[in-house]
Amino acid sequence: MTSSQRSRLAASWATALALALTLVSGPALAADPKDATLSREDQACLECHAKPGLRKTLANGETLPLYIAPQPFAESRHAREGCEGCHSQIDTATHGKPGNEQKLASKRSHAVESMETCRDCHQKTMKKYDDSVHWALVKTGSAKAPLCADCHNPHATKSTKEANAADDALCRQCHEKVTQAFTASVHGTDGENLECKDCHRTHDVKAATVGDHLRGQCLSCHKETAATHASWLPNAGRHLEAVSCAACHAPNATRRVDLRIHEARGEKAAEKVGVPQFVQFTSSASGKGGLDGRALWSLLQDLSRGNGDDSRTFVRGRLEVQTGVEAHSLAAKGKALKDCATCHRKGAAAFQSVTVSMIGADGRPLRQGASQGILNSVESIGSVAGFYAIGGTRIKLLDALLVMALAGGVLLPGAHLAMKVISARRRKAADQRTSDSD
């Protein structure tokens, strides 16, 4: 709605309501300095709340301003719901009178509680939000993740058509650096002007590096990707799975290998048992230059045991960029990484930086740096066998080990290690089948 449409609508409301009010209560109220489009109940609230100085001090010492501007409220989408539409718990008989002060712990806790009222009328949107990483962050104590009111002022709610124009500004208030990188990228320039929600959506924003949803978004617009890449890239399907799009399309990015701990049934299941174990292992490893092959191996053993089923925890490797800014710095195709040797060469830079990660309680990955040699260590073969582009020597080593294992002539420290190599391969094949059939 344009502002002139809005004021026209407000004006017609004003006329209708002024008429109604004149009939009900005589002209005195309509001439009140407060907006005449408001119901009498709302005007009663605003007797006090339209006083600019009204505020209260909260238990933690913060000041909560209690001023509500009447005009924007009268013009908002919620004018018809009235104050009571959202503040139904207020008892008008006692509210605001001396001696009836409410104890409020902090602005944040008040805001989180107040948000529950949106549930009464916007169930669908709330359901999406309940599924988002932002809500998971709120639940686990983040003081910064957005609540409804951070994007929709409840006392001046605009139609979302108007809000739409400012979508990215809404995300930008908290994700400044990412937004800058995005604006300068191939998607933010040349009149393409994608918006954050084209990939992340608005209310059910998911953790960025969890699952395949973001790659799915890329492929939903770039439908030919598999075919065009296969024309020059052998085993393109495997590359598109093991290498993030940005790792090739953000030309100046620093890359790393992330080894994500999964469970056969999905990424999250290990959370309850797994997170404390992960934290324990990784904090003892961080003193020693990162998690090494042996530590990773025993962590996986431990996690599997915690599940009561030895086969359920495994690791999947992915070559990715290191920062969120880099993930958005996509350039035109001419600048994309095409040289095989950048990755397939002994000592390739991308494989020198390795993290081990696992999904934490807020839905985002917990990460731990791994020691430099982890991808090449014999001790980690059982754990990282599904990911071995690591230069010619690496592949030869693994293949040699596998041949030995298959022949039964195992020279490894323990036969279970070799078994793990084989079963990891089988699992990989099985995974591939399931993902092919989606």
Interface with ligand HEC, residue 352, by CB under 6 A? no
- Could you tell me the two tokens for 206? 């998911």
Residue 94: count of CB within 10 angstroms of its CB: 9
DSSP state of 211: T
**Least Å from the CB of residue 316 to ligand HEC:** 10
Cα-flanking dihedrals φ and ψ of residue 25, to 5°?
-125, 10
- Could you tell me the two tokens for 79? 């004018």
Give the DSSP H/E element, type plus range, for residue 157: none
Interface with ligand HEC, residue 184, by CB under 6 A? no
Interface with ligand HEC, residue 239, by CB under 6 A? yes
Of residues 17, 36, 245, 366, which one binds ligand HEC by CB under 6 A?
245
Of residues 129, 278, 297, 314, which one binds ligand HEC by CB under 6 A?
129
Interface with ligand HEC, residue 314, by CB under 6 A? no
- Could you tell me the two tokens for 101? 């002060």
Stretch that binds ligand HEC, among 120-128, 281-289, 297-305, 417-425 (CB under 6 A): 120-128
Of residues 35, 36, 249, 375, which one binds ligand HEC by CB under 6 A?
249
Number of helices (H) and strands (E), helices first, in the chain? 23, 6
Give the DSSP H/E element, type plus range, for residue 319: strand 313-321
- Could you tell me the two tokens for 205? 């924003």
User: Which residue number, 144 or 396, has a Cβ lying nearer to ligand HEC?
Assistant: 144
Stretch that binds ligand HEC, among 4-12, 216-224, 294-302, 404-412 (CB under 6 A): 216-224
Query: What residues from 375 to 434 belong to the interface with ligand HEC (CB under 6 A)?
Result: 387-389
**Least Å from the CB of residue 198 to ligand HEC:** 4
Interface with ligand HEC, residue 244, by CB under 6 A? yes
**Whole-number Å distance between alpha carbons of 125 and 103:** 30
Interface with ligand HEC, residue 282, by CB under 6 A? no
Closest to 241 in 3D by CA, of 206, 205, 196, 211 = 211
Of residues 115, 261, 381, 398, which one binds ligand HEC by CB under 6 A?
115
**Least Å from the CB of residue 436 to ligand HEC:** 14
Rg (CA), the chain: 29
Interface with ligand HEC, residue 111, by CB under 6 A? yes
230 three-state secondary structure: helix
**Least Å from the CB of residue 235 to ligand HEC:** 4
**Least Å from the CB of residue 299 to ligand HEC:** 21
CA 294-383-250 angle, to 5 degrees, is: 110
